[in-house]
Structure 1
Amino acid sequence: MAARRPFRWPALLTSNGRGIAYGGDYNPDQWPEETLDEDIRLMRKAHVNTVALAIFSWDKIEPQEGEFTFDWLDRVIDKLGTAGIAVDLASATASAPMWLYVKHPEVLPIDKYGHTVNPGSRQSWQPTSPVFTAYALRLCRKLAEHYKNNPYVTAWHMGNEYGWNNRYDYSDNALKAFRTWCEAKYGTIDALNAAWGTAFWSQHVNDFSEVLLPRHMGGDAMVNPAQQLDYERFGNDMLLDFYKAERDAIEAICPDKPFTTNFMVSTDQCCMDYAKWADEVDFISNDHYFHEGESHVDELLCSDALMDSLALGKPWYVMEHSTSAVQWKPLNARKRHGELMRDALTHVAMGADAINFFQWRQSASGAEAFHSAMVPHAGEDSKIYRDVCELGAALKTLSEAGLQGTELERSNTAILFSAESEWATRSQTLPSMKLNHWHDVRDWYRGLLDAGQRADIVPLAYDWSGYQTIILPTVLILSECDVRRLADFAQAGGTVIIGYATGLIDEHFRVGLGGYPGAGNGLLRTMLGVRSEEFNILGCEAEGEPSEIRLSNGCISRLWQNDVTSIAADTTVIASYVGAEAADWELADVPAITRHPYGRGEALYVGCDLDRDAIASLMRTLRPEAADDARLVHTVRRSADGSTIVDCYLNRDRQPVHVQNITGQPIIAHRCAAGTAAHDYVLDRNGMLIMKRVE
């Protein structure tokens, strides 16, 4: 892991600067100025103590080129601060003013088809444009100079959701920067040719000046997957470099306040390599929007598990989530009563010390007018605002109980996540185009919950040596170094579970030879004690063919089966393919799931796709001693000295759950009632119980 900036948490305007931060994005420039006093009254009533300000306010701050107007923003910040509401001040560069685009249309991004991405939305600018960078950094410096000594500004919010609209830019500026990036990465053109495998399809380049972006190549043309993977890395890095330039411009003037930017991690999206970004912020922040349907709570838990790992166990910040429905999905489901509180408290249970929404007051116009907010269109006399007030009171209670600053205890199981493997699964050159690494991580996470077990989600690049079990679902890319780390982990006594599409390629998208999985020059196969020769891919597209294959343990595979042709003498077969469908595909009695000792540990091979029920069944078989009530999620937050322990119990079921022998003093009992016996509770649907133990 790279060197990380020291952890710094933004202070509140409380007597000791501590407490759980509560509020949301505030956009007073959308409203008449007289609305400000009413907003502050409602904020105080709801126990709001922080807001993110000026995120999209560049045109209000600089209405004409070189004319900076801070008077309106000064008045807003002064009134907020006087009311005890801290400000997380944005660099305001997420959306540029229209005058800049009119004067400099050359800053607009170009898509892979050569079309200009026009202004009018967010992030309509090239991260590699020297012209745009100059304007953006000038704004950063002006803001820093003006607010460096303002006591009410306690943190800096850089940009907003970097990569939302300009993750992929194919402009000439991007081409120039990509060539420079490639030269820095490879050093010589021969090294690049070797890494990209340019001997295929006559793609050899003689000089870095011949390196191209993977623009549209016509029809169903397939991009060189190694080139595309490097372009994904470059896109991540160019935006990270832009963020760092903004941060450094402000930090040179205002070094004493912490910096962050809001990641976008939910299992619908995780577009950047946030393991790299996490090194460059002072505290981790995330925008999380729930997935509609029955997976809502589990998806939230899974995303938060990754956030806690990115934060290295330190508290982290929910910068945005929604009070109810959003307006940008095909189906914009609202939250039921009690779910606003449940979701926010679940974030807290998973390590968050800040709960914020987009946005404070629901917009009356614009693209997000129907995105829910803390003060909805219905106003103060509304269910949502009353829920907002209830949540504010609950967070104030948790703050007074000393929760803020405690850290989430980790599980003994880690599911490994790799942004690069997620990018790789999008390639159109794989045996199946239905792979999705991040969704497989989610499915394994949910399967473990169904087995009464909780896992952490840990980036592959991080240190996971302290866990007992690690799981690698569809981690397509494994370098030789990665495989050696896995082997060392197993040799030291750990359990490694390798998924069916894990370790097929190295970091240059090269296939390991000698059989699958080929990563690590055969070391991964040796560790697993298996060798596969082909992939059997199923799908409804193959009319008249079997669409699923049964396993001897009762599970079913519906996408991918590895044809394992040999196993080591000491490999145990846990399940094989059986039945007429298996025989039809010549897979009858072929090993599907195996177990192999390695050093003081072991390696399990799951050679086919499994749904969450099958994953749960497998994990209950492998670790029956670890199973708790699958309807209940129990997390523990503990102070550094161990004196304060907070237990959080969440009902993830739709029916009431009875929990027994609960120790400690109740802090929050949301949709929860005392049971018939002492220390027993009944958690209703969406119920959460938070208890404090002092040792």
Structure 2
Amino acid sequence: MLTENGRGIAFGGDYNPDQWSEETWDDDVRLMKKAGVNTVALAIFSWDRIQPQENRWDFGWLDRIIDKLGKAGIATDLASATATAPLWLYEKHPEVLPCDKFGHPVNAGSRQSWSPTSPVFKEYALTLCRKLAERYGANPYVTAWHMGNEYGWNNRNDYSDNALNAFRLWCERKYGTIGALNQAWGTTFWGQEMNSFDEVLIPRFMGADSMVNPGQKLDFERFGNDMLLDFYKAERDAITEICPDKPFTTNFMVSTDQCCMDYADWANEVNFVSNDHYFHEGGEMHLDELACSDALMDSFALGKPWYVMEHSTSAVQWKPLNMRKRKGETVRDSLAHVAMGADAINFFQWRASAFGAESFHSAMVPHAGEDTKLFRQVCELGETLQTLADAGVQGSELERSDTAILFSAESEWATRSQTLPSMKLNHWHDVRDWYRAFLDAGTRADIMPLKYDWSDYKTVVLPTVLMLSAVDTWRLADFAAAGGRVVVGYATGLIDENFHTWLGGYPGAGNGLLRDMLGIRGEEFNILGSGVEGEPEAIRLGAGGEVALEDAAALNGATTRLWQNDVTVTGDRTQVLAMYAGEEADEWELDGMAAVTRNPYGAGEAYFVGCDLDVADLTKLIRTYLAAPAQSQQSQANTDVLHTVRKSADAAFDFYLPRGKKEVELQGVEGEPVVLFQTERGEENGSYTVRRNGVLVVRR
């Protein structure tokens, strides 16, 4: 994408030259070369500049900036520019606006103020795509296409009449007959049976305290994902017909506070996967959350290198409190993405805006200009990325773990339903907690979409995978029977793909197959955290009756605060590893009841973690029962360090990043140092001191 031989780690960001006078452009190019920038994403929000009136097109300014950048050795990732439409289009065709669930138009003035199911909007958008392809398809400086921008940011759930009509057609394609749809949605409950697809509704506002049919709501989530994916594909295909030889991408939004699309489907439709990731002011969670999000991105990329399309040099401006990054975090976060498999590091945005909604969002060139600590960090980062590229990191792949934590977008959507025993379930956050616990236990897990192939792993973990189909349950059973280890979380396998509750006892997935695997049967859920005076807020765990003496202390004293399963052990060989104990357990009639179990199944085994546990207690469980063998020649023995390995045909690159605020001492590190960022080499061979927010990279 960047050079004639295809080498080099991409480095740059969103560039908005149309916000600045052309006198600024030469200075931008000078500073980009100083920083080592080699690519920019261009024209993301520029439709109104490209087509200022319906019958007038202006490509002159775009021609000039692409040419200026290209001659300076800076490639353009050219956007389809459809993220925002010009105001004249909204004035002429207000019917393209999406609607909220109250029926109010989502008015223009922000981003994505358009309905993806509007045929009128699609016609205008595809005309723009074709115009761009005709003009820039053969331009050597345009090396990739950036379709849309963060699809679904403002129109993920559209309740317009356009959406209603499209949803009815979507349902008809999926179910074929209205009888099948009635069965799937369980419409005999609350008298919702439909006679034809013309009676299908979208879940608009039904009253302040009304509960939406969960099957209907789940399908509406699927529909919204599919409609935006269809829109993306229509844009991509319009350009491909004219310009078939340049790669396409669009920026996902994967972090553990958002993952709004089923990106496992989207990843199949791009040439390279890209992500926008913004850090969380979570103290010690900052780096762990980044690595967790990146682990999922690595799976979407099928283990191949992927692209950071956006992150921030420092503070953003869209949170209630916007903390800046500390010394070294701009570089450290970027190198952490590389450590997790990224071959491109880009920011929003190049130059901080002087006006508009994101004027106080940090940028590569801040308001104070080039003579700033922040811009010097950007330049240091550019040099470091060049060093890594020269060493051969580009194209190397992240070494896989023996353990996969399974992620399901549909289970994440399902946990947001207001019809569950608790409104506090969060599948994605539970994935993150398990991920952090594995790091705290001295190992690292991958995160794999449930719908992908995870059969090569030794252990799979299902945290709050609320929804399991019969097919996926059989996949788990076959995996365990062949010698794998399955770890089932407390709210896993309760409903099928239509949001029907599996019957016969919990967890009932696969018509009881999951229960058979686990050797337990649940009758009720015990939900805590009511805040009612006199009611227990937590329940303690004690050692199980069949735990080896050396393991007895593993979960003794662990605490559950949200959800406990009232279960009976049914398997002849099922071991109780921990049970509920103490006064609070007795208050809820759980004293002595199994909380964590292990059951042999075929050549493998299945664990049931029947209650919520915090990261510290999950860490104890992992260390005692699930610890995987060393993943590389250099085991991540130091739990204060995130250690990853990227491998190519002729080398391995070890990345070491302190997870906390203290510096760490490393001993016995093999290989030649490539990057020592905020790191000192010791007197002894293989010894290093890595300071807070530092990074060590060695090549073996």
- 8 Å contact kept, 1:287–1:318: yes
The aligned amino acid for 2:615 is R
Aligned to 2:549: none
Which of 568, 571, 587 aligns to 2:571? It is: 568
- Letter paired with 2:512: G
The alignment partner of 2:64 has SS state of helix
Equivalent position of 2:616 in the other structure: 613
CA contact (8 A) 1:418 1:475 kept: yes
2:102 counterpart residue number: 113
Q: Matched residues in 1 for 2:628 and 2:391: separation?
A: 33
Query: Deviations 1:231-285 (Å, cap 9, x if unpaired)?
Result: 0000000000000000000000000000000000000110000000000000000
Taking a change above 3 Å as real, the CA distance of residues 493 and 431 of structure 1, as seen in their structure-2 partners, is same
The aligned amino acid for 1:85 is: I
Residue type of the partner of 1:649?
Y
Distance 2:510 2:609 in 1: 18
Distance 2:580 2:574 in 1: 16
**Residue identity opposite 2:668 in structure 1:** N
Quote the residue 2:370 is aligned against: 380
Give the whole-Å Cα distance in 2 for the aligned partners of 1:404 and 1:417: 27
Equivalent position SS for 2:190: helix
CA-CA distance at 1:67 after TM superposition: 1.1
AA in 1 matched with 2:646: R
| CA deviation map 1:195-252 (0-9, x unaligned) | 0000100000010110000111012000000000000000000000000000000000
1:353-400 Cα deviation digits (max 9, x unpaired): 000000000000000000000000010001110000000000011111
Q: Does 1:390 align with 2:399?
A: no
Q: Between Structure 1 and Structure 2, how many residues are aligned?
A: 680
1:464-479 to structure 2, matched below 5 A, reads 464-479=454-469
Q: Per the alignment, in what secondary structure is the counterpart of residue 176 of structure 1? A: helix
Write out per-residue CA displacement over residues 403-461 of structure 1, whole angstroms, 9 at most, x where no aligned residue.
Answer: 11111111111000000000000000000000000000001101111111101110000
CA distance in 1, matches of 2:15, 2:135: 20
Q: Displacement, 1:68?
A: 1.0
For the residues of structure 2 that align with 1:494 and 1:334, how far apart are their CA atoms?
44
Hey, what does 1:7 align to over in structure 2? none
2:302 is aligned with 1:320? no
- Indicate the residue corresponding to 1:62 in structure 2: 51
Match of 2:637 in 1: 628
- Is the CA contact 1:658–1:675 (under 8 Å) kept in the aligned structure 2? no
Residue segments in structure 2 that go unaligned for 5+ positions in a row:
543-555, 630-635
Residue 340 (structure 2) aligns with: 350
Any residues of structure 2 matched to 1:571-610 within 5 Å, and which?
Answer: 571-610=574-613
Partner of 1:690: 697
Corresponding residue for residue 3 of structure 1: none
Check if 1:646 corresponds to 2:653: yes
Which among 127, 138, 144 is matched to residue 138 of structure 1?
Answer: 127
Q: Is the 8 A contact 2:644 2:655 kept in 1?
A: yes
Q: Give me the CA root mean square deviation.
A: 0.8
Match of 2:157 among 168, 180, 183: 168
Per-residue deviation, 1:661:
1.1
Shift of 1:682: 1.2
What amino acid sits opposite 2:7 in the alignment? Answer: R
In the alignment, the residues of structure 2 paired with residue 417 and residue 542 of structure 1 have an alpha-carbon distance, to the nearest angstrom, of 34
SS at match of 1:34: helix
Separation in structure 2 between the aligned mates of residue 50 and residue 524 of structure 1, nearest angstrom: 50
Match of 1:520 in 2: 510
Cα distance, 1:624 vs structure 2: 4.8
Which residue type is aligned with residue 146 of structure 2? H
Partners of 2:637 and 2:557 in 1: how far apart? 23
Residue 569 of structure 1 and its aligned partner are, at CA, apart by 1.5
Secondary structure (helix, strand or coil) at the match of 2:644 reads strand
- Residues 79-119 of structure 1, C-alpha deviation per residue, up to 9 Å, x if partnerless? 00000000000000000011111111111111100111110
Deviation readout 1:110-136 (Å, 9 max, x if unpaired): 110011111000000000000000000
Given the two structures, how large is their TM-score scaled by the length of structure 1? 0.97
Q: Which residue of 2 aligns with 1:200?
A: 189
- Deviation, 1:625, is 6.2
The question of whether the paired residues in 1 share the 8 Å contact of 2:327 and 2:693 is answered with: no
Long gaps (5+) in structure 1: 1-10
How far, CA to CA, are the matches of 1:477 and 1:81 in structure 2? 49
Task: From 662, 674, 678, give the equivalent of 2:685.
Answer: 678
> Does the CA contact (< 8 Å) of 1:571 and 1:594 recur in 2?
yes
Give the superposition deviation at 1:66. Answer: 2.3
Tell me, yes or no, if the aligned pair for 2:167 and 2:220 is still in contact at 8 Å. yes
CA shift, 1:590, in A, is 0.4
Q: 2:215 aligns with which of 221, 226, 231?
A: 226
SS at match of 1:202: coil
Q: Which residue of 2 aligns with 1:539?
A: 529
Contact 2:47 2:86 in 1 (8 A): yes
Distance 1:153 1:203, change over 3 A: same
Look up the SS of the partner of 2:165 in the other structure: helix
Name the counterpart of 1:664. 671
Separation of aligned partners in 2, 1:353 and 1:34: 32
Shift of 1:659: 1.2
State the distance in 2 between where 1:409 and 1:679 align. Answer: 22
Q: Distance in 1 between matches of 2:368 and 2:79?
A: 28
Q: TM-score, normalised by structure 2?
A: 0.96
Whether the 8 Å contact between 2:178 and 2:194 is mirrored in structure 1 is yes
Contact 1:563 1:587 in 2 (8 A): yes
Amino acid at match of 1:635: T
- For residue 474 of structure 2, what is the aligned residue in structure 1? 484
2:23 to 26, 34, 39: 34
**Residue type of the partner of 1:425?**
T
